Amino acid sequence: MIVTISGVGGVGKTTVTKLLVKKLKWRLVRPDDIAKKKKLYAGFDKERKSWIVNLEKLGKELRKIEKKEKNVLVESLYAHFFEADIVIVLRCRPEVLEKRLKKKYDWPTKIVENKEAEMIGVITQEAVERHGRSKVYELDTTRATPMQTVGQMMEIIKGGGKKYKAGRIDWLK
């Protein structure tokens, strides 16, 4: 089974994925690490101070790993672009996310872009477009502890996560 964990910066992807991988004893794949190791970049964005990953080449590398492993967790801002049986998008109230991002980043553009993307649900929209609503779930990490979020993820992975289906979180309402 392939489970991808996605969401904008600051929602808790890395924290909860580390806990989940210990609980499940699955292989953790971080596309950022593979891209860095194999230099799978399409360019560099000077304004955002970040590398632009070549998703097509990175997808090929991920498929090689997934063929060898029975169960894989893929965690990244852009994990929802890759093949998956389950896509979990972590969400956070924009005003809380902004506070988290101010602690994590020192450039305003990154904070504003992530907050805006979260506000309108960009990651969820992209995931649903790519995988269809039946494979995509959303979890609100705003007030949840990392272990509570892991419990919700386990519920989804075990097939009981209907209440977490994509489309239930709307920060604009």
Please report, for the domain that includes residue 111, its CATH number.
3.40.50.300
With cut-offs at 50, 70 and 90, classify the pLDDT of residue 49.
confident
Q: pLDDT for 97-136, tens place per residue? A: 999 999 988 878 889 999 999 999 999 999 999 999 999 9
Domain with 130, as residue range(s), is 2-30+70-164
Residue 6 lies in a domain: yes
Q: Say if residue 72's pLDDT is above 90.
A: yes
Closest-CA residue to 123 (of 104, 107, 141, 102)? 141
Residue 54 lies in a domain: no
Number of domains in the chain: 1
Q: How far apart, in whole angstroms, are the C-alpha atoms of residue 167 and residue 170?
A: 7
Residue 159 lies in a domain: yes
pTM of the predicted model as reported, rounded to 2 decimal places: 0.95
Q: What local confidence, expressed as pLDDT, does residue 142 receive?
A: 98
What does the chain look like in DSSP terms, one character per residue?
Answer: -EEEEE-STTSSHHHHHHHHHHHHTPEEE-HHHHHHHHT-EEEEETTTTEEEE-HHHHHHHHHHHHHH-SSEEEESTTGGGS--SEEEEEE--HHHHHHHHHHH-S-HHHHHHHHHHHHHTHHHHHHHHHH-GGGEEEEE-SS--HHHHHHHHHHHHTT--GGGBTT---TT-
Amino acid at 131: H
Q: What local confidence, expressed as pLDDT, does residue 105 receive?
A: 82
Q: How far apart, in whole angstroms, are the C-alpha atoms of residue 134 and residue 115?
A: 26
Q: How far apart, in whole angstroms, are the C-alpha atoms of residue 79 and residue 91?
A: 14
